[in-house]
Every structure is written in structure tokens, then in C-alpha cells.
Amino acid sequence: MLTFLWKLTAFHFLIISCCLLNYVSPEDHPDIPAIAKYFNTKGTYEEVNPHLKEDILAVNRSILQPPSAQCQQIHLTAIIRHGTRYPTTKNIKEMQQLYNIVLQNATGVESWLREIQTQWTMWYTEDMDGRLVQKGVNDHKHLAVRLSKLFPSLISEEKLRGGFIKFITSSKHRCVNSTLSFKAGLTELWAITDKEFDHAVNDSLMRFFAQCTRFVQEVDNNATAVSEVDKFKQRPEMRRVQEKIADRLRVLYRLITHDMAEAAFYLCAYEFAIKAVNSPWCQLFDEDDAKVMEYSSDLREFWKRGYGYDINSKSSCILFHDVFNRLNKAVSENKSGQQVTEAVTVQVGHADTLLPLLTLLGFFKDSEALTSTNYATQSQRSFRTSRMLPYAANLILVLYDCGGGDLRLQPLLNEKPVAFPGLTDQQASMPLYQDVRDHYKELLQGCDFETECQLSKSSA
Ligand SMILES: *[C@@H]1O[C@H](CO)[C@@H](O)[C@H](O)[C@H]1NC(C)=O
Ligand SMILES: *[C@@H]1O[C@H](CO)[C@@H](O)[C@H](O)[C@H]1NC(C)=O
Ligand SMILES: *[C@@H]1O[C@H](CO)[C@@H](O)[C@H](O)[C@H]1NC(C)=O
Ligand SMILES: *[C@@H]1O[C@H](CO)[C@@H](O)[C@H](O)[C@H]1NC(C)=O
Ligand SMILES: *[C@@H]1O[C@H](CO)[C@@H](O)[C@H](O)[C@H]1NC(C)=O
Ligand SMILES: *[C@@H]1O[C@H](CO)[C@@H](O)[C@H](O)[C@H]1NC(C)=O
């Protein structure tokens, strides 16, 4: 009887504590906008890995699950996007324009609107132009510490001091600063003060998109290439979002153009990413509106960097080969009894670096293309930049030697194991390296940057 009572009580306690927890959990994060998971490439890394909100240095090594205890990590390549940054000059101009409209023309009476008009100030200045912010420094410092906890045999003080960890970055200041921050994360962790570690700047590798002539001409500088985005701006879904914003501000519909809606969305996203505040600007959107804004931006990424055009992913051939050459080198050094000279490679670039490579590898491919007319049927799409490409997004490839020539390659995206798409294997998240090579055979034998990126004779 007593036991029964105890059980009953314990059971009730469980229910109560569970519900209490559920109830208080939003209260734990009153500063997180309800729409924070729809911010595309302006989203925070913590929104993609929510456990980091509790402990920014938390890692769970058991996610790696190698097939046997014998497996040892022999090489790791991390391709990482820069950390949180300021808006670009173009975005800042639009934000200023929207702010003026709200100051001069909005007549609503809600408290959040009063807050924008009387307390909020336009603190973004054009000279901020995409620079890394302090949160971005922390993004990379914390990532470095977590990766050293996740891969202690590779990202170690000994390996760093021995010169077995290489750093390569895009020349953009936000990437160079991210690289410096990543290194500082490690040197501060190990209290290394007697030595500095250099990095190479390589834009052919980390900003290949700017050097691929065919991509630049046919897609990047070609307005027609993103016509689906323009068509979506005229669709009822998008129009409705703009009207709802105008209604909330009580301004004429024609004042809230697509650019102004986007500026409002950016204001909510940047205030959260940079200052960790749930800004009054976020009140201009409900969740349905945010999903439409998210789609509009995904549509652009799809046609400019993703599956929309073959050249988008092919522009990353140079990085693709670079990664596999390094893996091969590690394999052959290990096989011939030498120490692996490049145990770890940390490469820092852009969303525009990662997305074409992820696309080339086949990640996040839906059966249908994203178009201006299929917003509704794409609601469950896997091509979702909010999930894929927050600040400090990363693709990590880990090479394992499991003994007796059994080599395996594990991909992780944003520190979570993923499977190479289309590779049917029971150990899909840690397939044999040879199976990965077979799977990408055509790309390994072709995918030549020079050939792919030259203008064809007809268009030249
Ligand atoms: C760590 O990951 C394993 C495997 O995915 C999971 O079963 C376990 O619950 C995780 N532990 C924590 C503390 O999250
Ligand atoms: C917005 O406010 C400005 C300044 O008061 C005014 O000049 C302008 O006509 C207003 N625009 C509209 C559409 O009401
Ligand atoms: C980034 O680097 C530049 C130039 O080295 C420096 O002036 C700036 O303070 C750095 N910013 C951050 C946030 O570290
Ligand atoms: C950049 O990387 C590519 C590919 O690995 C290499 O061929 C090239 O020499 C590097 N450039 C510089 C400036 O280091
Ligand atoms: C621009 O894109 C459209 C649509 O893909 C294409 O038909 C056209 O040839 C492109 N223009 C150039 C200059 O490449
Ligand atoms: C090759 O990798 C295996 C597995 O990690 C390791 O035991 C061995 O020492 C490596 N060989 C060299 C020369 O590093």
C-alpha cells in the first residue's frame, strides 16, 4: 500500500514537474522572438542547436557512434561559415527607410509601436557593412572549444603546437576575424601564450563563387535567373504579409513594399542575433508571415546557390577536390606508416561557400524545385536555410581508421551526424570511405572548375 502510494505520488510528481517545466520553459527565454526559427541565413546557431541555449559548451560525444571501439580518428576537415555579423550597407539603407516610415507615418497605438517610435534608435550605420560582431567572435570561440571536446585526439594542444592543424580563410574581414576567433578559442582554452598560429588566405578556395565566370555572368549578375523570386513577390501569399504589416503600422499599403517587409524582418533578426533581444520590430510578423518571408529568401538561395542551376554547385568543384585530395593524402600517409601531416583543416568562408558544396554533395534536395507557385506544397521541404545555414554553420568530415584497412568517413552538419544523400548503407552516417568515393565517382573524375566555369562558346 505504501509502495503504491509512493508510486502514485512519484507519478504525480513526474507529471507535475513535466508540465511545470513545459509551462516555464518559454519563460526561460522571454528574449527569444517567436519567429526566430525562420531567419534563414540571419539565424543564430543556438536556434538550430537549442541545447546550446542552456550550455554553450555542451557536447555529447556519444552522437559519433563509430562501428567499433577500434575506430580512431585520423583526419578532420571543417568548413565553417563566419560568425554573426552586422547587416550589409544595402540592408542598413533599407532599414533606415523603414524606420523613417514608422516614425513619420505610422499611427497605430500599440505599446510596441510606441516603443519603436520613442525608445528604439537606428543604431546601425553604413560603415558597419557586414563586419563580424562580438557575438560572432564568441560563435567561433565556442565552436572551437566544443569541437576540441568532441574530437579530443585531433583538436588537441599537442596537434596545434605541432603544426598539424591548418587554417584557411576567405579574405573577407568577417571571415579572417572568425578564423582569429576560432584560434583564440583554442589558445585561450589551453592557455597558450608563447606561440602564434598562422592561417592562409585563399579566395580561389573559399570564395570560388566570385571567380567562376560562368556563374557570375549567367546567375549572379543575371536578373532573369531569379525570376521566380520576383514572381513570388507578386503572389497573394507575399502581398498579404505586406498588407498585414501596413495594417499593424496603420500606413498606406503602398508604403510597405517587399523591400520594406524584408527590412522589418531583418531588423527583428539582427536585433536578436547581435544583441540577443526580442525587439519590438518582431511584432510586425506572426508565425505565418515569418514562414512566407522564410520561403521568399529560400527561393532566392535555391536559384542563386542551390539546385536552381547546375553551375551553382559546380562552381564549388575546386573546394570539393581540395577536400578529397586532403582525405586521400591522410589515408596514404597513414597507410605508409607516416604521421598524418594535416590532421585537422579548418576552413572559414561564407554561406555562399557552404551551400554550393552541400548542393554538389546532394544534401537537402527535394523532389520538386522551389518555385513562385508552390509555397504551400513546399511547406515540408528539406531545403531550409534557417536549418542549414545559421551563422557559424559548419560541415565537418571525419576520417576514421577502424583497423585492417577499414576506413570510414563521417559527415556532420552543424555538429550533428548526417548521412550522405543517396548512399545506401547500413552505417549510413559512417560509411566506408571507399563507398563514399564510389558514390561521388563522377564528380571525383570530372567536376573541373576551369571547364565548368568557362563561358560556353555560344554565350561568350
Ligand atoms: C547523447 O547522445 C545519445 C545518442 O544520440 C543520446 O542517446 C543521449 O540521450 C544524449 N545525451 C544527452 C545528455 O543529451
Ligand atoms: C509620410 O510622412 C511624411 C512626413 O510627415 C509625409 O511627408 C508623407 O507625405 C507621408 N506619406 C504618406 C504616404 O502618408
Ligand atoms: C576584426 O579585425 C579588424 C582588423 O584586424 C579589427 O580592427 C577589428 O576590431 C576586428 N573585429 C573584431 C570584432 O574582432
Ligand atoms: C588555394 O587552394 C588551391 C586548392 O588547394 C591551391 O591550388 C592554390 O594554390 C591555393 N592558393 C593559394 C594562394 O594558396
Ligand atoms: C540569364 O538567365 C536566364 C534564365 O536562366 C537564361 O536564359 C539567360 O541565358 C541568362 N543570361 C545570361 C547572360 O547568361
Ligand atoms: C594510422 O591510423 C591508426 C588508427 O588510428 C593508428 O593506430 C596508427 O598509428 C596510424 N599510423 C600512423 C603512422 O600514424
| Residue 132 CB less than 6 A away from ligand 3 | yes
Task: Give the per-residue pLDDT at 458.
Answer: 56
Lowest mean pLDDT among 88-102, 151-165, 331-345, 425-439: 425-439
C-alpha cell at 90: 544595402
Ligand 3 atom having least distance to the Cα of 134: 13
The CA 137 to ligand 3 mean position distance, Å, reads 10
17 within domain boundaries: no
The CA 446 to ligand 4 mean position distance, Å, reads 19
In which band, very low, low, confident or very high, does the pLDDT at 4 lie, cut at 50, 70 and 90? very low
Q: Could you read off the pLDDT of 306-360 as tens digits, one per residue?
A: 999 999 999 999 999 999 999 999 999 999 989 999 999 999 999 999 999 999 9
- Residue 175 and residue 76 in one domain: yes
| Sheet (strand 344-349) strand order | 200-201, 165-169, 344-349, 72-81, 394-401, 407-413, 416-417
What's the CATH number where 370 sits? 3.40.50.1240
Q: Is the pLDDT of residue 424 over 90?
A: no
Task: Give the per-residue pLDDT at 13.
Answer: 40
- Residue 389 and residue 416 in one domain: yes
Ligand 2 atom having least distance to the Cα of 252: 13
| Residue 337 CB less than 6 A away from ligand 6 | yes
Nearest CA to ligand 5 atom 9: 218
Task: Give the per-residue pLDDT at 348.
Answer: 98
Going by their DSSP bridges, the two strands 165-169 and 344-349 should be labelled as parallel
Cα four-point dihedral sign 446, 175, 348, 440 = negative
* Burial zone of 110 (CB within 10 Å; 0-12 exposed, 13-18 middle, 19+ buried): middle
Pocket lined around ligand 2, Cβ cut-off 6 Å: 104-105, 252, 255
Pocket lined around ligand 5, Cβ cut-off 6 Å: 217-218, 222, 224-225, 459
Which of 138, 139, 173 for a ligand 3 pocket mutation test, highest count of atoms within 8 Å of Cβ? 173
37 within domain boundaries: no
Nearest CA to ligand 1 atom 12: 60
The whole-number average pLDDT for the span 197-214 is: 97
- Residue 172 and residue 54 in one domain: yes
Q: Which among 49, 391, 387, 123 is positioned nearest to 279, based on CA atoms? A: 123
- Contact present, 135 and 94 (Cβ < 8 Å): no
- Radius of gyration over every alpha carbon of the chain, rounded to an integer in angstroms: 24
Task: Please report how the helices 89-105 and 258-275 are oriented relative to each other, as an axis angle in degrees rounded to 10.
Answer: 110
| Residue 416 CB less than 6 A away from ligand 1 | no
445 within domain boundaries: yes
Task: Give the per-residue pLDDT at 65.
Answer: 86
Q: Is the pLDDT of residue 26 over 70?
A: no
- Residue 167 and residue 278 in one domain: no
Task: Give the per-residue pLDDT at 420.
Answer: 94
Q: Which residue has the cell 571567380?
A: 211
Task: Give the per-residue pLDDT at 29.
Answer: 62
Which of 222, 231, 454 for a ligand 5 pocket mutation test, highest count of atoms within 8 Å of Cβ? 222
270, 304, 338 — which closes off a domain?
304
* Burial zone of 67 (CB within 10 Å; 0-12 exposed, 13-18 middle, 19+ buried): middle
- Residue 62 and residue 162 in one domain: yes
The CA 34 to ligand 2 mean position distance, Å, reads 31
Pocket lined around ligand 4, Cβ cut-off 6 Å: 200, 202, 204-205, 322
Please identify every residue annotated as catalytic.
Answer: 82
Percent of the chain having pLDDT more than 70?
Answer: 92
- Residue 247 and residue 396 in one domain: no
In which band, very low, low, confident or very high, does the pLDDT at 426 lie, cut at 50, 70 and 90? low
Closest ligand to the CA of 102: 2
Q: Is the pLDDT of residue 14 over 80?
A: no
Ligand 3 atom having least distance to the Cα of 177: 1
Which of 101, 102, 104 for a ligand 2 pocket mutation test, highest count of atoms within 8 Å of Cβ? 104
- Contact present, 165 and 148 (Cβ < 8 Å): no
The CA 424 to ligand 1 mean position distance, Å, reads 25
107 within domain boundaries: yes
Ligand 5 atom having least distance to the Cα of 218: 14
Q: Which among 208, 340, 259, 338 is positioned nearest to 90, based on CA atoms? A: 259
Ligand 1 atom having least distance to the Cα of 51: 14
Nearest CA to ligand 4 atom 1: 202
Instruction: Please state the length of the chain.
Output: 460
387 within domain boundaries: yes
Task: Give the per-residue pLDDT at 109.
Answer: 87
- Residue 232 and residue 365 in one domain: no
Please give the backbone phi and psi of residue 222, each rounded to the nearest 5 degrees, phi first. -120, 105
| Residue 63 CB less than 6 A away from ligand 1 | yes
Amino acid at 192: I
Q: Give the number of domains in the chain.
A: 2
23 within domain boundaries: no
347 within domain boundaries: yes
- Contact present, 71 and 98 (Cβ < 8 Å): no
Q: Could you read off the pLDDT of 159-202 as tens digits, one per residue?
A: 999 999 999 999 999 999 999 999 999 999 999 999 999 999 99
Q: Is the pLDDT of residue 287 over 90?
A: yes
Task: Give the per-residue pLDDT at 428.
Answer: 63
Closest ligand to the CA of 128: 3
Task: Give the per-residue pLDDT at 449.
Answer: 96
Q: Is the pLDDT of residue 249 over 80?
A: yes
Q: Is the pLDDT of residue 1 over 90?
A: no
| Residue 418 CB less than 6 A away from ligand 3 | no
- Residue 252 and residue 395 in one domain: no
Nearest CA to ligand 2 atom 13: 252
Q: Could you read off the pLDDT of 223-239 as tens digits, one per residue?
A: 999 999 999 999 999 99
324 within domain boundaries: yes
- Residue 294 and residue 438 in one domain: no
256, 272, 304 — which closes off a domain?
304
- Residue 251 and residue 373 in one domain: no
Average pLDDT, rounded, for the chain: 92
For 376-426, the DSSP string reads TTTTT-S--HHHH--TT-EEEEEEEE-STT-EEEEEEETTEE---TT---T
Task: Give the per-residue pLDDT at 457.
Answer: 55
Ligand 5 atom having least distance to the Cα of 227: 4
H/E element holding 171?
none
Q: Could you read off the pLDDT of 261-271 as tens digits, one per residue?
A: 999 999 999 99
Task: Give the per-residue pLDDT at 290.
Answer: 98
The whole-number average pLDDT for the span 13-34 is: 51
- Residue 65 and residue 111 in one domain: no
Q: Which residue has the cell 578559442?
A: 185
The whole-number average pLDDT for the span 275-304 is: 97
281, 304, 327 — which closes off a domain?
304
Q: Could you read off the pLDDT of 350-379 as tens digits, one per residue?
A: 999 999 999 999 999 999 999 999 999 999
**Residues sharing a CB contact under 8 Å with residue 397, sequence separation 6 or more, in sequence order:** 76, 77, 323, 327, 409, 410, 411, 412
- Residue 193 and residue 331 in one domain: yes
Q: Which domain holds residue 101?
A: 87-129+222-304
3-state secondary structure (DSSP) of residue 73: strand
Q: Could you read off the pLDDT of 108-152 as tens digits, one per residue?
A: 889 999 999 999 999 999 999 999 999 999 999 999 999 999 999
The CA 232 to ligand 5 mean position distance, Å, reads 19
